[in-house]
Amino acid sequence: MPQVIASVVRVPWHTEHGGYDRLLDHLPEVRRITPPASTAGRHAAALAHRALGRRCPLPFYPAEHFATDLRVLASRRPAHVLYGDEQFYFSRHRLGPTAVTYHQPPGHLEQLLPAADWKRVVPRADAVITLAPAQREFFASLLPPERLHLVPHGIDTTAFSPGREQNAHGPLLVLTVGWWLRDFDVLDAVHERLHHAHGSDLELVVVTRQANHRPWHPAARVLEGISEDNLLRLYRRAAVLLLPLIDATANNAMLEALACGTPVIATDVGGIPYYAGDGPHAELVPPGDADAAAEAVDKVLAETGTDAQAIRRAAARSRAEVFAWPLIADQVRALYRTLTETP
């Protein structure tokens, strides 16, 4: 099989072992195409971006993404564009076979580009990788079914794992992690209900990039920019991960919590049911329903110290193992083989 190249721009808010580009840690045969590392290279990329980048209608297309886009364009090797939502535009004109992964849910994809641009961009990919079944309908109108592939997001089940923190004493912890497509209005309402019911017996923690962008419930402790070690300790100590969502495909925080043996309460939207599966490790609630979310959290909290809690935690870990990166990498490797062997 010819060597595959992959465009990589590290998402700055992902932790060391988190994020979609960790897929490549399990595909050592793939050569990474990264933004220029030298000062001169970054300067040249910035100049080219100012000259040509404005022709790209993607709303998020900074110089780093532009640089990897052009480097992929220049190669005839089989290529995998890891973030098609923001890294696949000029490279659609390349001569080598190309796989592109799209991360955003259909409603957001519709807002990224006009329909006419999608019809120009997507058909130039030889294979589109979707992360959740909910994306299929959007791409089905743009590609024949044999070029559309569902390969889920993965999780590092070695780095994210259960730990001794789960036996810690003190107030029970309800944890929320993330910022993209989160329903913070529902979160505020759930925090109010939980604080009213439990007071100081319950700790409410939010880890987000938007700590200073909005007001929060006064009982919530809001953290930003914490280390992966601190995040792991929170996942492991949490009684439950609370994820009120507006929409979703895959969700890093959900997979990380499950891998740490922490049950999840999440909104029943987009790809969340696909990643949750069936079992006691995840409770899904209707969109916008703060009462249902608070009741689901209370149900989990009431099981503290019981066999039911242990069953939930074991089921969470088992579900995460379905998405362990080595398994996902094997699926992607099989797709690469198809991509390179098809005339």
**Location of structure tokens 């992607």:** 332
Where does residue 118 rank: exposed (0-12), middle (13-18), buried (19+ CB within 10 A)? middle
CA 197 to CA 97: how far, in whole Å?
Answer: 57
What's domain 5-154+324-341's architecture? Answer: 3-Layer(aba) Sandwich (3.40)
User: Where do the domains of the chain lie?
Assistant: 5-154+324-341, 164-321
Hey, is 320 helix, strand or coil?
Answer: helix
Terminal-residue alpha carbon distance, the chain: 13
The class (CATH top level) of 164-321 is alpha beta
The single-letter code of the amino acid at 191 is H
Q: Does 5-154+324-341 match 164-321 in CATH topology?
A: yes
Count the neighbouring beta carbons within 10 Å of the beta carbon of residue 124: 14
**Tokens representing 95?**
């001569």
The single-letter code of the amino acid at 112 is L
Torsion, Cα of 158, 37, 29, 9 (10° steps): 60
pTM over 0.75: yes
* DSSP E strand boundaries for 133-223: 148-150, 172-177, 202-207, 220-223
Q: pLDDT (tens digit, 9 = 90+) per residue, 43-76?
A: 999 999 999 998 999 999 999 999 999 999 999 9
Residues in the chain, pLDDT under 70: 1, 165-169, 342-343
**What one-character DSSP code corresponds to residue 169?**
-
CA 195 to CA 189: how far, in whole Å?
Answer: 10
CA 306 to CA 148: how far, in whole Å?
Answer: 44
Per the CB < 8 A criterion, the answer to whether 270 and 134 are in contact is: yes
